[in-house]
Amino acid sequence: MTGRYSLADVAALIGEPTRAAMLLALLDGKALPATELARAADLSAPATSLHLAKLTQGGLLAVRKEGRHRYYRLAGGDVAHALEALGVIATGPPAPRPLSPERSALRAARTCYDHLAGALAVALAEKLEAAKILSAEGDATYAITRKGTRWFAERMQIDVKDLACGRRVLARRCLDWTERRPHLAGALGAAVLERFLERRWVVRTATSRAVRITSRGQGSLESLGL
């Protein structure tokens, strides 16, 4: 990093197409080995190692060693949030032509690092606001109302006060790159996704960041009282 121009340095790291492909492959929060990232970027092993070293040195990736293998993941939620925000800038409004099945699934519901994104997440955030459970505080954050604190405890078994004691932003308004409206991120957004997965209201898919709403989830989401 050059210090004065560190923003340009980070942009250059993300802007190289093969590095962007690797970053996007990690946007669901998983840690992947270099071999899988090489496939995502369509690169040779030596070229992949070079790009991964740059991303790690630039603070965008974290790496851990297990035996002879190295596993890479995004360095944190701020990196994921930046990638999602860049997606909003980089993509135009949804095209009127039919979407591919994969693109349609991603738009419907997906993970963004450790929280829900897509139409499901946006609809949930809007219902939480309408029910006076969340309240927008500017463009960046949500406040949780007293009613909301009780609702999350009773309906979701999430202790908002406990989450608020952590170092992470409690409830971030994350602009969704497909819907162009905010969804819930931050510590509370991560807790909500964890509950949805635990209760099998949504399940992960094997080949992408898309998540599938189960029949149990359909009924449960309708009965949340929003």
Q: Are residues 41 and 92 in the same domain?
A: no
Residue 202 located in a structural domain:
yes
158 is a domain residue: yes
Domain that holds residue 113: 78-222
User: Domain for residue 1, yes or no?
Assistant: no
Tokens 């209201």 found at: 201
Note whether residue 201 is domain-resident: yes
Does the model's pTM come out above 0.85? no
Q: Are residues 47 and 83 in the same domain?
A: no
pLDDT of amino acid 178 = 85
Count of the separate structural domains present in the chain: 2
11, 16, 20, 21: CA torsion to nearest 10: 180
Question: Are 138 and 175 members of one domain?
Answer: yes
Q: Which residues pair with 174 in a beta bridge?
A: 183
User: Is residue 34 located within the same domain as residue 18?
Assistant: yes
Give the pLDDT score at 139.
Answer: 83
Number of residues that this document lists for the chain = 226
Contact 117, 196 (CB under 8 A): no
Q: Are residues 115 and 69 in the same domain?
A: no
In this structure, are 56 and 21 located in the same domain?
yes
- Tokens representing 204? 């992960």
Distance CA 40, CA 93 (A): 25
Does 30 share its domain with 109?
no
pLDDT of residue 77: 81
137 and 199 fall within a common domain:
yes
95 plus 151 within the same structural domain: yes
Domain boundary among the residues 24, 52, 75 is at 75
Whether residue 96 is contained in a domain is answered as yes
31, part of any domain: yes
Rounded Cα gap, residues 112 and 176, in angstroms: 9
Residues in the chain predicted with pLDDT less than 70, given as ranges, are 1-5, 90-99, 225-226
Whole-number pLDDT of residue 137: 92
CATH number at residue 45: 1.10.10.10
Q: Which residues contact 115 (CB under 8 A, 6 or more apart)?
A: 121, 174, 183, 184, 185, 186, 189, 190, 192, 193
In a domain, 110, yes or no: yes
End-to-end CA distance of the chain: give it in Å, rounded: 47
Q: What is the pLDDT of residue 70?
A: 87
Number of H helices, E strands in the chain: 11, 11
Residues 109 and 218 in one domain: yes
In this structure, the answer to whether residues 92 and 118 fall within a common structural domain is yes
Question: What pLDDT score does 192 carry?
Answer: 97
Boundary residue ending a domain (75, 110, 131): 75
The residue among 75, 108, 130 that closes a domain is 75
pLDDT of residue 97: 55
In a domain, 195, yes or no: yes
Q: 107 and 199 in one domain? A: yes
